[in-house]
Structure 1
Amino acid sequence: MGCGVRRRDRVIKNIILTRVVLGAWILVLSPIPAIAQSPSKPSSTVVPTQLLAASSVCASQLPIDINRVISRLPAVRWGVQVQTLSPPATRRTLYARNATTLLAPASNNKLFTTAAALQKLGATYRIRTSVTGDSTNSTLATLRIIGRGDPSLKTSHLNLLAQRLSQKGIRQVALLVGDDTYFRGAATNPNWDADDTLQGYGAPVNSLMLNQNGIGLTLFPQNVGQPLRVQWDDPTDTPDWRLNNQSVTVSASQGESLDVARDRTQPVINIEGQLRAGSASELVATSISNPGNYLIQKFRNALTQAKITVTQATVVKTTPAPAGEVELVSLDSPTLADLLKETNQESNNIYAEVLLKTVGIQSLDNLDATASGITAIKPILFAVGVPPMQYTMVDGSGLADKNRASAEAFTKTLQGMAQSPNAQVFRASLPVAGVSGTLKNRFRGTAAQGRLQAKTGTISGVTSLSGYLTPLNYPPIAFSILTNYPSTSTATVRSAIDEIVLIMTRLRSC
């Protein structure tokens, strides 16, 4: 896609990576094995020299200082709110600019999704994958794997399930069924850009998920002039795909960029671009178009390796399991608290969409799990203190540019969650400036390091940051900064947002 980048936080559409120009790196494989959005080198904060030696800021002076930053970018639409973090009776608004204006929020949308999921499901909730049979005999007419959208499920888990079945004495299966019926409706959100759906960060979200429904690759630079070496995350994927590797290793004086995308109609992954000789490897991913079949194929292979013979395999998407089947083995996901960390810390779109659909399934009987989730979230967030007219969701992750929300909606979410019994779990899910997640390399060496916990967000023309900040000499605050811009560079807008945050760290009572 050349320079026409659309970015999901620091994941760039069509896996375009440009270290020099954008100061951002791609990593589509997460610390939780499988595919996510976790750049190995997130963008850093350029600290204005005057801020390094700046004096503290009285609360009454804050609007003047923030407006000075905003005035430098007249083409940007801003939505900002800054409040003391406290119960409503004692809460003070320190700054507001278009705070109720609805803007595209990018990944700040995940704050709505994760807050609602935590309130609805609880921190200890787990997603179960079950394997059932028509009997407990060694020979089964039907063996069924029932997916409920566990985004952390990977190939090694299927091997474990197969081994457990073998230990139970299962030897022959006439029909292996992949039950993909739990999440009703479209697996791919119709509001997502078609190019995004080819990438790991825009993979379909269904009931039978494996490896986050993506094909993971690691690209290694070689000697100058040689193509990048490709390593498959799951070597068993190799026979099903053809690589068209047009990449090259370049000298240290040249720039770096990658464009990795699968073909729309054929099982072909195209790799273009360049990395410097001696530089670090890069992890990338493309989406799988038919994930239910992908999982059942992998599970059949696992059963075969466990010496369980399978005669036939199929995937069902509309017919649920018949009564009378018994659960033979199962596997639970990490706790919801852990899933939230992956969702917010790494800005994982796939996890966010699973949470949205799970809330929907647990709340409403609807033909579309995404629509059910969006409907179910409204009363949950209203109970937290967020009026439904202050946001419009079309997905759970913020990848769609049709999402809308106000800065006030996010500060109300942050304030409400801070007063809830789930406050600690919710806050722990957020990246910490200079320490973790999408803020790991941002605000390093500044007063915000370790004092800021916030959700980042970036797609084309949208940059956002909402969270909690503990200034050096002022009580904690909750804030939201949303920006929409048609032409200003993302780097320029992000720098302005960071400058505002650093101004807020200097707050004091006076």
Structure 2
Amino acid sequence: MLKKPQFICSLSLLTLLLSVSPVRSQGVEPTLTDYNYNQDFISIPIEVQPPENKPSTTNACSPFVAPAMEAIIKRYGGGWGILVQKLSDGETIYNYNADRGFIPASNMKILTTAAALQRLSPSTTISANKSLQEWVAVTNLRSDNYYADTLLKRIGGGAVAKQILAQLGINPQGFHFADGSGLSRRNLATPRVLVDTLRVMYSNPQREIFFASLPTAGISGTLRNRMKQTPVQGLVHAKTGTLTGVRALSGYLDHSQYGTLVFSIIANHPNQSGTALVRAIDEMVITLNTTANCQY
């Protein structure tokens, strides 16, 4: 009989959730006149919506996962959107505001590259004699904003990309393209849209190209210095997202008992440091990995 992990059993009394400024669920209207295409960061103030007090999805695993995840949320405060599902059958392991729109930062590149791989052949030359396959690799692995925006333009813009993703079964009401890179704060996406896209791409004919473009925890790309020498090093393949007041991580986790988990974690918090939000997200991923199978 499998027992509840000790770390959950020993959770101490939590502090109250930090209060944050309310945010519009849509209509965030900053002015972006200039930015560095080679950075995944831009300093613009952000209003943030506090998380709804939604209960986690009820299933056999919630009693184990929810207390640990929500302890982290309460410790750091801010607005969070999280969805974790088993790849094999779509069972929800954890859900927190999964259908609310958040500023996703560079997690928009997941949608951009998925649409491009669906519309164009991998051998299509994009620019500078680089094929689509090479272009996608740079876009996600290095989180190159110029490459992402170029891809979106090449396939016809945000409206066309939305149509392509809708044809793949992605809810078109769950995201909005303001650009292909995620630099604009007018971009919106729900954790569910990101998880659904990741799920679709895992069984897509271009799966290998897409999967190989994602950074690996402690090893490559924008995750090379994160979760090093932890139990999830080499097991997390995910896209990072970074703006002032925004951190995101969406991808796959190879779990020893659940098989592959598909997850999206987005934090919108103007009053918390980026370092703290990254620490919170990494802690959540490690928590998911160490949670035992819930059957007993």
Residue of structure 1 equivalent to 2:105: 106
Tell me how far apart the structure 2 counterparts of residues 82 and 385 of structure 1 sit (CA, whole Å). 18
How does 1:252-331 map onto structure 2 within 5 Å?
A: none
Are positions 1:401 and 2:185 aligned together?
Answer: yes
**C-alpha contact 1:84 1:92 (8 A) present in aligned 2:** yes
Deviations 1:456-488 (A, max 9, x none): 011111110000110233311100001111211
Aligned to 1:474: 258
Bigger mean CA offset, 383-392 vs 427-436:
383-392
Letter in 2 for 1:341: A
Q: Could you say which residue in structure 2 is the equivalent of 1:299?
A: none
- The aligned counterpart of 2:75 is 72
1:38 positional shift:
8.9
Check the 8 A contact 1:38/1:437 in 2, yes or no.
no
Query: TM-score, structure 2 length as denominator?
Result: 0.78
Larger radius of gyration: 1
Q: Distance in 2 between matches of 1:339 and 1:391?
A: 23
More strand by share: 1
Equivalent residue, structure 2, for 1:349: 145
Task: Decide whether the 8 Å contact of 1:124 with 1:336 is kept in 2.
Answer: yes
CA displacement 1:134-154 (0-9 Å, x = unmatched): xxxxxxxxxxxxxxxx2xx3x
Are 2:171 and 1:375 equivalent residues in the alignment?
no
Q: Does 1:423 align with 2:207?
A: yes
Q: In structure 1, what is the Cα distance between the partners aligned to 2:133 and 2:66?
A: 36
Q: Is the 8 A contact 2:133 2:209 kept in 1?
A: yes
Offset at residue 122 of structure 1 (A): 2.3
Q: Decide whether the 8 Å contact of 1:38 with 1:438 is kept in 2.
A: no
| Cα RMSD after superposing both structures | 1.9
* Matching of residues 141-220 of structure 1 within 5 Å: 150=127, 153=128
Amino acid at match of 1:103: F
Look up the SS of the partner of 1:353 in the other structure.
helix
Q: Give the TM-score normalised by structure 1.
A: 0.46
Contact 1:105 1:457 in 2 (8 A): yes
% identical equivalent positions: 40
* 2:134 is equivalent to residue 338 of structure 1: yes
* AA matched with 1:116: A
CA distance in 1, matches of 2:258, 2:75: 27
Contact 2:40 2:145 in 1 (8 A): no
Deviation per residue, 1:331-355 (Å, 9 max, x gap): xx22211111100000000000110
CA distance in 2, matches of 1:494, 1:36: 20
Residues of 2 paired with 1:383 and 1:408: CA distance? 16
Count residues with an aligned counterpart.
Answer: 242
| Secondary structure at 1:72 match in 2 | helix
Q: Is the 8 A contact 1:473 1:506 kept in 2?
A: no
Segments of structure 2 that go 5 or more residues without pairing to the other structure are: 1-33, 42-59
Q: Distance in 2 between matches of 1:84 and 1:406?
A: 18
1:63 matched residue in structure 2: 66
SS at match of 2:215: coil
Task: Give the ranges of 4+ consecutive aligned residues of structure 1 lying more than 2 Å apart after TM superposition.
Answer: 35-39, 507-510
Instruction: Provide the rounded CA distance (Å) in 1 between the counterparts of 2:123 and 2:286.
Output: 36
Asked whether the 8 Å contact 1:110–1:352 carries over to 2, the reply is yes
Matches of 1:473 and 1:441 in 2, distance apart?
26
